């Protein structure tokens, strides 16, 4: 083969390798380390929240044993997660409270999942709080009850701000079956009280939100497109 063909072949290989690297980094993001037994997290790695999450949650594919850890630090490296790590009764998720008044900025969560037999493996993920995003939320604070209609595979209004203690009612007015599900799909562990049964036309579902923070949610039948967010403050 001529020298020119060789050079072209090497250049083509470099381009392919570069593209694979680019898409891997874009998908997983720099800084994420996924423990062997972790399925996913809330917030997701790289997610930007318009308010503080009420908790950080790690979902696992095996029983999480005592001794497992989860903590969040800010960009200065100070630990800001609160209280103790709580492992869910079914042992498939662990969670830790997060301060509602945490400043805007980047946060790093690190965790260690310990499994039966005593071995533990570690992971990490990052998320950002940017309250300037709240300008896209409809302000419904100061009301005892608010409602959200489910129609044409959309939650409407999609992003709302309410006060602590407000009762939110989802009203189903659509052909398709819908659900109200807390993050993350398909685990629905972030705020389990928000998970509804299957809803059909004429059905409604109500939840009272007491704890300030951000509540991202979705319909598990249309998880990719039918999403909503509630800020309690």
By CB under 5 A, residue 223 contacts Cu ion = no
Nearer to Cu ion, 96 or 178 (CB): 178
Using the rule CB under 5 A, give the single segment among 73-81, 121-129, 175-183, 207-215 that binds Cu ion: 175-183
By CB under 5 A, residue 178 contacts Cu ion = yes
Nearer to Cu ion, 34 or 222 (CB): 222
Give 114's contacts (C-beta < 8 A, 6+ positions apart). 64, 65, 66, 67, 68, 120
Nearer to Cu ion, 140 or 219 (CB): 219
Using the rule CB under 5 A, give the single segment among 6-14, 46-54, 207-215, 224-232 that binds Cu ion: 224-232
Cβ 228 to Cu ion shortest distance, Å: 11
Cα torsion angle, 72, 112, 86, 28, sign? positive
The Cα 20–Cα 26 span in angstroms is 10
DSSP 30-93: TT-B--TTEEEEESPTTEEESS-BSEEEEEESSPPPTT-EEEEEETT--B--EEEEEE-TTSSE
Among 91, 147, 222, 223, binds Cu ion (CB under 5 A): 222
CB-closest chain residue to Cu ion: 219
Identify the three-state secondary structure at position 222: helix
Cα 65 from chain centroid (whole Å)? 23
By CB under 5 A, residue 226 contacts Cu ion = yes
Among 219, 230, 231, 232, binds Cu ion (CB under 5 A): 219
- Interface residue list for Cu ion (CB under 5 A): 178, 219, 221-222, 226
């Amino acid at each position: 083969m001529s020298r020119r063909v060789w050079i072209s072949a090497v250049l083509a290989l470099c381009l392919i390798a570069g593209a694979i690297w680019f898409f891997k980094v874009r998908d997983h993001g720099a800084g994420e380390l996924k423990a062997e037994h972790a399925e996913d997290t809330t917030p997701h790695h790289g997610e930007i929240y318009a308010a503080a999450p009420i908790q950080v949650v790690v979902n696992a594919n095996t029983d999480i044993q005592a001794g497992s850890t989860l903590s969040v630090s800010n960009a200065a490296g100070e630990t800001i997660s609160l209280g103790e790590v709580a492992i869910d009764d079914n042992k498939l998720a662990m969670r830790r409270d997060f301060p509602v008044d945490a400043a805007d900025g980047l946060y790093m969560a690190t965790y260690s999942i310990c499994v039966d037999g005593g071995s533990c493996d570690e992971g990490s993920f990052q998320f950002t709080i940017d309250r300037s995003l709240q300008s896209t939320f409809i302000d419904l604070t100061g009301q005892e009850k608010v409602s959200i209609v489910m129609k044409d595979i959309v939650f409407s209004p999609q992003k709302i701000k309410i006060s602590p203690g407000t009762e939110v009612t989802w009203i189903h007015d659509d052909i398709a079956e819908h659900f109200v599900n807390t993050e993350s799909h398909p685990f629905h562990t972030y705020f389990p009280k928000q998970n509804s049964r299957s809803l059909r036309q004429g059905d409604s579902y109500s939840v009272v939100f007491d704890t300030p923070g951000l509540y991202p949610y979705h319909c598990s039948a249309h998880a990719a497109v039918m999403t909503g967010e509630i800020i309690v403050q």
